[in-house]
Structure formats: structure tokens, C-alpha cells
Structure 1
Amino acid sequence: MRDAEYCFWHSPAHKEEAAEARRLGGQRRRRERVVNAVYELEGMTNVGSVQRLIEIAVQDTLGLENSVARNRVLGTLAQAALRVFEATEFESRLTALESVHERRGKGKR
């Protein structure tokens, strides 16, 4: 469509396809809002959201029939949770170090 007069969204030849794409996009956005509300998710923008997602996945996985595959998923989720805890710990330590460094720097001036 590079040499076409219209882009995909405004091309008369793609009118039906564009309408279907808009419809599907609207469905996805509505579904996303419902899922976020049901699972109390706020996106993946902070550690708390990632922890919440892991909790949901663990609960759903524990509800499945016991199997090797289920246990592998639980192991993977446990590893992910540990990485989140490590990142949280490193972040709090770094914040504390920066605070001490800032106080010491101000005291010398």
C-alpha cells in the first residue's frame, strides 16, 4: 500500500477489512477493561502489578489437575516470584544507599 492513494484505514478497497479491524480492536479494549477489573490488575507498570499477576497465575494453576506440566508451571511461577522479590529487595537497598549518600554529600558542603 506504499504507492496507493489512501492508507489502509481510508482506502475504499479495504473498507470492510478496516471496519472489522476497528470492531475487533474495540472488543479487545472492552475485554481488557473487564479482565483488569475482575483480577484487580493495573497493567504491568510496577512491581505490585507483576506480583498480582503471578498470584493469579499460581491460583489458576493450583486449580488444575495435578500433572507434571502443572508442576513445571508452578516451578516457573515460583522462580518468577523470587526474581520479583529480589528486584524489590535490590530497589529498597539502592534507595537506602542513595539516601545515605545524599545526606553525607550535603553534610560536607
Structure 2
Amino acid sequence: MTNSASKAVAYGTIGGIIGGIIFGIMMHMQGMIVMLAGTMGSESAVMGWMIHMIISVIFGISFGVLTFVIRNIWALAIVFGIGIWIVGPLVIMPMMMGMGTNLAN
């Protein structure tokens, strides 16, 4: 891995952790962390936090790597943000909970 690629992964990891903690606090206050744990058959807030932080780090690393593809950071942020919003809470999470997608709502 080149030096710039390893920096992108490192910065993405750090960004994912920071963003995950901030967004996780908001999710926790709304009871969504326990709902996330439910996707794995658990009712534990700790399990929900672990799932959430793993996903956050994956998203952070993905964002860091995509900076090589989309050089305009603002365009990347908008496209990436909309993309993870559609894929995560509107498609994957409801389907894992047996509810179908939320795309039509």
C-alpha cells in the first residue's frame, strides 16, 4: 500500500470512529442502538454499539479510499452521505429486521 493510500485508510478510520461516536450518541438517545442490535438477534446496547462502530469504521475507510476516485471532497461527501443513507437505514437495516425496505415511505 502506498503512503498516500495508507494515510487515506488511517484518516478514514479516525473519521469513522469520531463520526461513529457522535452519531452513535444521537442514535442511543433515540433508542436506535438497541434496534440495531436487534438485527443480530440481540437486545444489548453494547452489541448495538459494537455493530454501529464496525459499520462506522468501514464507512470511514470507504470514504478515505474514494477520495482517490472523486477528488472534489464536497461532491464526494454529498454522494457518499446520500448513498449510505439509502443503503443503511432505508434498505439493509429494515430488511434485516424483516420489515422490507423503507424506500417508498
TM-score (norm 1): 0.29
* Rg comparison, structure with higher value: 1
**Greater relative contact order, per chain length (Cα 8 Å cut-off, separation 6+):** 2
